[in-house]
A = this chain, B = another copy of it.
Amino acid sequence: MTTTAAPSMRNGVDTATLFATLDAVKQAPEAAAFQFRAHNQWVSGTHSQSSISDYFGVGQDQTHERTFVFDADHPAVLVGTDKGPTPVEYVLHALAACLTAGLGNIAAARGVTLTEVRSTVAGDIDLNGILGLDPDVRNGFQQISVRFEVKGEAPAETLRELVEQSMRRSAVYDILTNQVPVSIEVDAS
């Protein structure tokens, strides 16, 4: 009888590093205090541009390998110039990406090889809210629906459980389904 070590790399996740990171945070929980940031500059009308580069984590200032720059705008039907997606579409992308990243990690940790993951996230919004035309209509999404297509080397039920667990551990899912206190400070001149 021979024993074979489980491979460290699965789904593009280095599970040895993943488990080592978990152990390291267990030893030093304060390393898990992160602050992420986006810096935005108005361009014109509804068009603005954010850069994402610096953050804090593992006890020190960090930077991404490069600065990521994103435009946001409204389309012409919403009196914009369509230079980028609307802000709310970025929220949908964030949810898809968060659930998918978690799925990759969790599948790797459980020894499940994934072969394909696709999702579509749709958010319904009634613009009578943000246009101020109906006080009974909220400004944001009334509901968001996510549809995943997951293929992998495990029974369908196991794959579904991976998505379930990713949802239970998703930062963006938590942000959207629970409340986050937001404070706004204005330096005007």
Interface of A toward B, CB cutoff 8 Å: 11-14, 17-18, 21-22, 25-26, 29, 32-48, 50, 52, 55, 57-58, 62, 64-65, 68, 70, 72-75, 77-82, 84-105, 108, 114, 116-134, 138-152, 156-157, 159-160, 163, 167, 169-189
Each complex incorporates copies of this chain amounting to: 2
Complex partner residue of A171 from B11, B88, B96, B145, CB under 8 angstroms: B88
| A33 → chain B closest CB, angstroms | 6
B98 touches A88 (CB 8 A): yes
Output the least CB separation between A76 and chain B (Å): 8
Distance, CA A141 to CA B82, complexed state (A) = 29
In contact, B93 and A38 (Cβ under 8 angstroms): yes
